[in-house]
């Protein structure tokens, strides 16, 4: 029976979950896969944490060199997070001939080009299923199961923290700051939630997923990003009246004009499968030219769901000697031949706070017409704010991003409009 030695870098939530799965299922892997996977070493500054998991003291490494020089270690699992020292440690392991499994989306997004060079040079495997969407096997689907397709588009809820917050705001009518505090208490949001709520986490993941889907490097710097910090319950409630749910969506499209990639809050019809993905669950909706629509759904984070993805990569690595690398030239920047669409098409939801007098609608309508924007639905609420304004809500037909940007600027300059209170894209 083949023996496989594993080292784990970091015993936090995910590292601890990975260790638990490997030890509890060791006999099952022997029986089903004919491999004996044993954790031979860990790198963890807090040795008490390792001892509490039942790890023998002699298997607690003092530094990365001990991992790299350990002949019993075949695969190194990196679950430290962040760029450094994770990047240096992963490169050290690859140059020492150890295959690497990582859950680090920021590291892989920003430096996969360097990691892949090291992996190829030293004939090592480099696996990263757990870097995107937790336990949902979307990367394996793109690499293997859907490779017979030209992927036309992908759209997903790929950040559990923001989905939890928006779900609670919608269900309970609580404001953003209140729900964020609750999410932090429950461990769904970090003490500093910027990476999640401002869309960075989803942007890193979309960079990885869209690169795989469209077979070309999509740097995260090419992705339009907008977070949820300015979302108000008022707009979620108005959206419900129009039949929409609000989600932070990661969207990638590969069309005739080029590739568009964006992360932002979006209204999506209640009839769409993604509208029912709530709380901390994630899902990715993929459209291929042959398979048509496929949706992958499940836990997007957590010790065991993410550990499941990591262990899946460990088993795949241990049972496949012909390592698979990316299908495109993996450089730091995008290929000069890759065209990106900035002025993308979408429908839009707009809420204006306007003075309640005749002529206001006509003036707004004239601006829309000048900016080539057609209105699909419009409503005026009777509730008057303290400043005497009333809300006007518009849903547009599909138009261009630049058209809406121009219209918002012109409307903001109208003395009859106190404020353009919200602009939210609508997925058609």
What distance in Å separates the CA atoms of residue 166 and residue 195, rounded to the nearest whole number? 16
Which residues, other chains included, contact 114 with Cβ-Cβ below 8 Å and sequence gap of 6+?
87, 91
Tell me what percent of the chain is helix, strand and coil, each rounded to the nearest 5.
40, 25, 35
Nearest alpha carbon to residue 11 among 71, 63, 52, 70: 52
Report residue 390 as tokens: 């009333």
Which residues, other chains included, contact 224 with Cβ-Cβ below 8 Å and sequence gap of 6+?
261, 262, 263, 264, 342, 344
Report residue 329 as tokens: 């030239």
What distance in Å separates the CA atoms of residue 300 and residue 134, rounded to the nearest whole number? 4
DSSP 3-state assignment of 189? coil
Residue keyed to tokens 């990263």: 128
User: Do residues 176 and 227 touch, judged by C-beta distance below 8 A?
Assistant: no
DSSP 3-state assignment of 285? strand
Check if 205 is active-site.
yes
Marked catalytic residue, from 87, 98, 105, 205:
205
State the Rg of the chain over Cα.
Answer: 24
What distance in Å separates the CA atoms of residue 66 and residue 46, rounded to the nearest whole number? 17
Residues 11, 15, 16, CA angle at the centre, nearest 5°?
A: 75
Distances (CA, A) of 396 to 180, 369, 403: 31, 11, 11
Residues 195, 189, 90, CA angle at the centre, nearest 5°?
A: 55
Nearest alpha carbon to residue 273 among 161, 120, 427, 136: 427
Whether residue 85 is preceded by a cis peptide bond, meaning omega within 30 degrees of 0, is yes
What positions carry a catalytic annotation? Answer: 205
């Amino acid at each position: 029976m083949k023996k496989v030695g594993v080292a784990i870098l970091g015993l936090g939530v995910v590292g601890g979950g990975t260790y638990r799965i490997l030890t509890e299922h060791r006999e099952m892997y022997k029986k089903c896969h004919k491999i004996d996977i044993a954790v031979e070493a860990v790198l963890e500054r807090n040795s008490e944490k390792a001892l509490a998991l039942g790890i023998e003291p002699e298997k607690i490494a003092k530094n990365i060199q001990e991992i790299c020089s350990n002949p019993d270690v075949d695969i190194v699992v990196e679950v430290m997070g962040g760029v450094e020292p994770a990047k240096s440690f992963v490169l050290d392991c690859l140059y020492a001939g150890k295959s690497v499994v990582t859950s680090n989306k920021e590291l892989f997004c920003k430096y996969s080009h360097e990691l892949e060079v090291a992996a190829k040079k030293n004939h090592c495997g480099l696996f990263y299923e757990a870097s995107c969407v937790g336990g949902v096997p979307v990367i394996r689907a793109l690499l293997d199961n859907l490779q017979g397709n030209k992927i036309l588009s992908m759209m997903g809820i790929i950040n559990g923290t923001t989905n939890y917050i928006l779900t609670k705001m919608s269900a309970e009518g609580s404001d953003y700051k209140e729900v964020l505090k609750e999410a932090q208490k429950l461990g769904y949001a970090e003490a500093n939630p910027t990476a999640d709520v401002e869309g960075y986490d989803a942007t890193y993941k979309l960079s990885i997923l869209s690169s795989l889907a469209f077979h070309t490097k999509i740097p995260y710097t090419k992705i339009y990003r907008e977070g949820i910090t300015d979302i108000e319950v008022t707009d979620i409630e108005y959206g419900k009246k129009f039949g929409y749910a609000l989600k932070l969506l990661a969207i990638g499209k590969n069309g005739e004009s080029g590739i568009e990639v964006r992360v932002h809050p979006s209204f999506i019809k209640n009839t769409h499968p993604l509208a029912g993905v709530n709380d901390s669950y994630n899902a990715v909706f993929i459209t291929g030219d042959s398979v048509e629509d496929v949706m992958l759904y499940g836990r997007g984070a957590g010790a065991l769901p993410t550990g499941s993805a990591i262990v899946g990569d460990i088993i795949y690595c241990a049972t496949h000697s012909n390592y698979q690398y990316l299908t495109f030239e993996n450089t730091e920047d995008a290929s000069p031949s890759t065209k990106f669409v900035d002025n993308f098409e979408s429908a839009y939801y707009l809420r204006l706070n306007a003075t309640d007098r005749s002529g206001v609608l006509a003036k707004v309508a004239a601006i829309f017409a000048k900016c080539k924007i057609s209105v699909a639905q419009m409503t005026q609420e009777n509730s008057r704010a303290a400043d005497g304004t009333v809300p006007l809500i518009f849903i547009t037909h599909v138009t261009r991003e630049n058209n809406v940007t121009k219209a918002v600027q012109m409307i903001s300059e109208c003395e009859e409009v106190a404020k353009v209170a919200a602009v939210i894209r609508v997925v058609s």
